[in-house]
Copies of this chain bind each other. A is one copy, B any other.
């Protein structure tokens, strides 16, 4: 579905967010290791994301990446479009240039419904909501943070 760099970016951003919640700023080495992505490729992707303002970074000892707490709730869709463009969200399932209501491809209606759902998902979910999901899931499966009732 998504391209490799998009996948790495999504995984990395959620990881950064989770670490930020623990007052930590992970570096490229840590991020790449944790999300199981190649070090240099990861570095390149996050350089780009930093330049585009999706993350902030600090150089030198103790440096690393962090997400500006100001701009809370970054929808996945924004990130995805910044990396691989919006083709997935607007394109025709048959690959036709001018497929629309007036000149529909044989799959127009059926594919449109799926594309709408994809749009809904990535517009609704954010890096922060996914990080929160992960935390909740951990809580649900671990005893250590759960009060006995």
Binding site for B on A (CB under 8 A): 1-2, 4, 7-8, 10-11, 14, 36, 88, 91, 93-97, 104, 106-107, 110-111, 113-114, 117-118, 121, 125, 130-131, 133-134, 137
Contacts and interface: CB of A to CB of B under 8 A. Distances in A.
B134 A11 contact: no
Contacts of A114: 114, 117-118, 121
A134 B106 contact: yes
Contact of A110 (B4, B121, B134): B121
Contacts of A94: 7, 10-11
Q: How many copies does the complex hold?
A: 2
A24 B118 CA distance: 39
29 contacts: A1-B1, A1-B88, A1-B91, A1-B93, A1-B111, A2-B93, A4-B95, A7-B95, A8-B95, A10-B94, A10-B107, A11-B94, A11-B96, A14-B106, A36-B96, A36-B97, A104-B137, A106-B130, A106-B131, A106-B134, A107-B125, A107-B130, A110-B121, A110-B125, A113-B117, A114-B114, A114-B117, A114-B118, A114-B121
